[in-house]
Amino acid sequence: MFTLKILFLAIFLCFNTLAYCQTEATVDSLKADSLRKDGTKITKTADSGNLQYDVADLIRSLLHKGGQPTPVGKKSAITLMPNVAYNPSIGAQIGIKAVAGKVLGKDPNTLMSVAATSASITTKGILYVYLSHNVFTDANKWNLQGSLIAAKTVTPDFGLGIGVPAEDNEADRVLTNPGRKPYVLHGQYYSFREKVYKQVRDNLFFGAGVSFDIRRKVEDRLTPGEDTPYNIYMDRYGFDRDNYMVNGLLFNVQYTSRDNQNRAYKGIYADAGVRINQSWMGSSKNAVQITTDFRKYFSLSSRNPEHVIAFWNFGSYLVSGRLPYLELPGTGKDGSGRSGRGYTIAYFKGTQYFDSEVEYRFPITRNKFIGGVAFFNIQTTNNLLGTKIFEHWQPGGGAGLRVLFNKATRTNLCIDYAYGNFGRKGLFLGLNEAF
């Protein structure tokens, strides 16, 4: 038993080192989300109470032989984990992730406020620093959501569209890249986003905010001066190749009835938003963009509610104006960067994008320390050259393991292996579920 515990601890510390990640540079899938103040009570009654076993219990039993698991209700304010990874784009990566939570109110229905951060560096000189917050005031009257990012990035690129060729001329063929030739873009990325939501009735919020996204010193070091998809698109639609800004106003409507925001067993999450990029705010071009995010969860067992079927639909649609190439919606460009497992971030992209996913989640061990998932996704986009959204689809899917990191907040370490078309496959890693 002791040897088994050592093995699990080694997996926890080292599993990232063989990953081929879905991230742009070192983008974290750490999700700054929230859960209800009474979420631990739900967990205690529905999750077999103190039978659950997490990483903290594992470490405690190694340090104190014979130590017993702590009750579910005793939750830690801060969760720390190493951020160690490797993939061909970023090299070897080392860093740290952390998430902290606290209830800021006396009302029993107040959601937990969460702050998350990570910092990492790679052997190829890539730097990534991330800070986010999701704060709920007493009785959820107000909700503040925001993030701050500074990064030196490496972005894999595979062209515009869904993999369907446009053969009208050589430039269009290169832009749609039907053979999915890989390109790599280096640059600097800075982002600031803040939204304020007001609860207008139970579970329903109206929000508004601002977003500033800045790219600097974007360059293709492997094929400089060539007609690449990035260069063709940026020249065709009047953007500076090296530097640009996408700054705008945000307006959202959000509904959530999930029993837990980190790993829901039941409930609904829905968000519809409008982003209006404005030149008077410094944006390189004006644009209007609509996003939709819908999630539904069904628990299949009252005795073991961890058996869950989960559905997710994510869409992003440019209504007017133009977006720079790297800001186009696409694979993994949702808020948590987890859509379309089986493909790297932005593998498919266009001005209109839609992704739909289904996942089955289940416990493997009786103490819920190890769980599993099986998932399938399908995505579609346009290419501005004749192929429209919903005309062609690309599937992806796979399976994965879950290690219960913090039972009080239902935080899991996620290890997924996924497949897609064009020979795409690899490990996809994250803290908390993809959706």
Q: How far is Cα 133 from Cα 32, in angstroms, rounded to an integer?
A: 6
For residues 255 and 70, the model is more confident at 255
Give the pLDDT score at 18. 34
Beta strands in 103-234 (DSSP E): 113-122, 127-136, 142-157, 183-201, 204-219
**Residue among 427, 432, 435 nearest 86 (CA):** 427
What does residue 268 show for φ and ψ, rounded to 5 degrees?
-130, 145
Task: Copy the structure tokens of residue 63.
Answer: 């340090």
Task: Copy the structure tokens of residue 154.
Answer: 């490496």
Instruction: Determine contact, residues 412/78, Cβ cutoff 8 Å.
Output: no
Q: How far is Cα 5 from Cα 17, in angstroms, rounded to an integer?
A: 20
- Average pLDDT (164-180) is 90
Pairing of strands 204-219, 267-277: unpaired
Q: How far is Cα 350 from Cα 329, in angstroms, rounded to an integer?
A: 6
- Average pLDDT (140-167) is 91
- Domain interval for residue 24: 2-431
For residues 369 and 24, the model is more confident at 369
Q: 319 — alpha (psi -120 to 50), left (phi > 0) or beta?
A: alpha
Task: Copy the structure tokens of residue 216.
Answer: 């600097």
Give the pLDDT score at 336. 80
Q: How far is Cα 20 from Cα 27, in angstroms, rounded to an integer?
A: 13
What is the percent of the chain where pLDDT is above 70? 79
Helix (H) or strand (E) holding 425: strand 425-431
Beta strands in 48-126 (DSSP E): 78-82, 85-87, 91-102, 113-122
Mean pLDDT of the chain: 82
Instruction: Determine contact, residues 403/378, Cβ cutoff 8 Å.
Output: no
> Global pTM?
0.82
Q: How far is Cα 118 from Cα 322, in angstroms, rounded to an integer?
A: 32
Number of domains in the chain: 1
**Residue among 253, 252, 251, 249 nearest 210 (CA):** 249
pLDDT digits (tens, 9 = 90+) for 256-311: 888 887 889 999 999 999 999 999 999 999 999 999 999 999 999 988 899 999 99
Is the pLDDT assigned to residue 21 strictly greater than 50? no
Identify the three-state secondary structure at position 242.
Answer: coil
Is the pLDDT assigned to residue 133 strictly greater than 60? yes
Composition of the chain by helix, strand, coil, percent to 5: 15, 45, 40
For residue 205, what is the domain's CATH number?
Answer: 2.40.160.50
Name the pLDDT band for 192 (thresholds 50, 70, 90).
very high
Task: Copy the structure tokens of residue 393.
Answer: 């689809």
Give the pLDDT score at 338. 87
- Average pLDDT (321-346) is 92
Give the pLDDT score at 20. 38
Rg (CA), the chain: 22
